[in-house]
Amino acid sequence: MWRIESAAVIGAVARIVRDLGLAEEIAHDALIVALERWPVSGIPDNPGAWLVVTARRRAIDAVRRKRRLSEKQAALARELSLRHDGEEDSVERVALDEFGDDLLRLMFTACHPVLAAESRVALTLRLLGGLSTDEIARAFLVSESTIAQRIVRAKRTLSRAKVQFEVPQGAELAERLESVLGVIYLIYNEGYTATAGSAWMRPELCDEALRLGRMLAERTPAEPEVHGLVALMELQSSRARARAGSNGEPVMLLEQNRAAWDPLLIRRGLAALDRALKAGSVAGSYTLQAAIAACHARALTAEQTDWNEIARLYMLLGRVSPSPVIELNRAVAVSMASGPEAGLAILEAVATHPALQNYHHLPSVRGDILFKLGRLPEAREEFNRAAALTRNERERKLLLSRAQACLQV
């Protein structure tokens, strides 16, 4: 139950005390009171509301006690106490959606750009995910004390920077939202790229990121990129069961058994993508990535993939967030849609980019295209080059066998 309610309670208190550390303490105090009283009085019908009311009351007391009452704060305290007199009445009046804004405030605060990325992640998982320090530490393969310190320092940084506990408005919203989405996607990727058999927390990170994304989407329905990110995560998750072979080896998307793709998550992903496209006029980066994932999801077999559409989407994506890797992916899509010669032209145009010089996918893709063009000695050279660049043992073996195959045709 605390997992369900903790973020809402912390958020509600933070709105009053404006200090995350204190908010967490007071929220925990309320929990302790609940644990003492409920075995006797029974669990209330709306435990969340009970906790919030209790925590708020303590928060108001804390504000009165700990701060000098400036006119503004006296008025605030009076206003709050007027609104919340009488425990029974208050619990009924606290509607579920009143928590919505507080959760949003909490999310924006925990992901504030003044914090380092890893601190935003730790704070978010802690305050919004309700994960313990130990769970977070295991997820990121660091020590518990590292995470504990990170969280303490993050709260201090927010305090010192006098970060307002509020949802940003107007011009600031876009940048701050980008930060929140970045944190959520970081958490997702941390879970997604985990190899099979590593720490058990990793798939749970994907689940947690998805949950946070869905929660955010509910509260910011007009923001297209939020729906875009949710769509991307739902669609990527839909392939989770097909990603690893029987020996735990990674299976490329085009070779995956599509019967193992989760139709429930595909349906949810496509629905979220639809919302993203309806909410905005120009598709953003997450929405475009989701649209590409949707192309794969809609194809019943690899052969039925709409490569023209994927190529077009990569072109749009390249305009929104230019990157040589995206251009490389576009080369692949174009070679599938219009033939290897066309793909090669795009690849050659981007091949000299410094960022790609140690990127094993570049020679790997070039090798594949040259193989399809029948230029086997050159293809072999590329596969060998790619094999030398990759650090993944399984991938290296695969590339070497492809190089070998060039000799046997």
Partner 1 sequence: MRFMMLMIPAVYQGPGESPAAPTPEAIAEMSVYNEALVKAGILLAGDGLHPPEKGARVKFAAGRKPVISDGPFSEAKEVLGGFWMIQVRSKDEAVEWARRCPAGDGDVIEVRQVFEPADFES
Longest dimension (CA), the chain: 85
16 vs 210 by CB, closer to partner 1? 210
Q: Which of 61, 31, 52 is nearest to 101 (CA)?
A: 52
- Token pair for 108: 């924006």
97 vs 303 by CB, closer to partner 1? 97
In the complex, least distance from residue 213 CB atom to partner 1, rounded to whole angstroms: 7
The residue ranges that bind partner 1 (CB under 8 A) are 1, 3-4, 96-97, 100, 203-204, 207, 210-215, 218-219, 241, 264, 268
82 vs 264 by CB, closer to partner 1? 264
In the complex, least distance from residue 269 CB atom to partner 1, rounded to whole angstroms: 12
Q: 283 by DSSP, 3-state: which?
A: coil
* Sequence-ordered list of residues with C-beta below 8 angstroms from that of 357, at least 6 positions apart, any chain: none
Please say whether the beta carbons of 227 and 275 come within 8 A: yes
219 vs 372 by CB, closer to partner 1? 219
208 vs 382 by CB, closer to partner 1? 208
213 vs 228 by CB, closer to partner 1? 213
In the complex, least distance from residue 145 CB atom to partner 1, rounded to whole angstroms: 24
- Taking each helix axis from N to C end, the angle separating 2-17 and 117-127, rounded to the nearest 10 degrees, works out to 110
1 vs 253 by CB, closer to partner 1? 1
Distance CA(292)–CA(276), nearest Å, equals 14
Q: What DSSP character marks residue 300?
A: S
Please say whether the beta carbons of 30 and 11 come within 8 A: no
In the complex, least distance from residue 206 CB atom to partner 1, rounded to whole angstroms: 10
- Taking each helix axis from N to C end, the angle separating 324-338 and 361-372, rounded to the nearest 10 degrees, works out to 20
3-state secondary structure 145-161: HHHHHHHHHHHHHHHHC
In the complex, least distance from residue 192 CB atom to partner 1, rounded to whole angstroms: 14
In the complex, least distance from residue 8 CB atom to partner 1, rounded to whole angstroms: 9
In the complex, least distance from residue 168 CB atom to partner 1, rounded to whole angstroms: 21
Q: How far is CA 141 from CA 21, 120, 145, 248, in A?
A: 25, 17, 12, 21
In the complex, least distance from residue 84 CB atom to partner 1, rounded to whole angstroms: 22
Is the four-CA dihedral 140, 325, 244, 125 of positive or negative sign? positive
Neighbouring CB atoms inside 10 A of 289's CB total: 24
Q: Could you tell me how far CA 109 lies from the centroid of its own chain?
A: 16
In the complex, least distance from residue 47 CB atom to partner 1, rounded to whole angstroms: 8
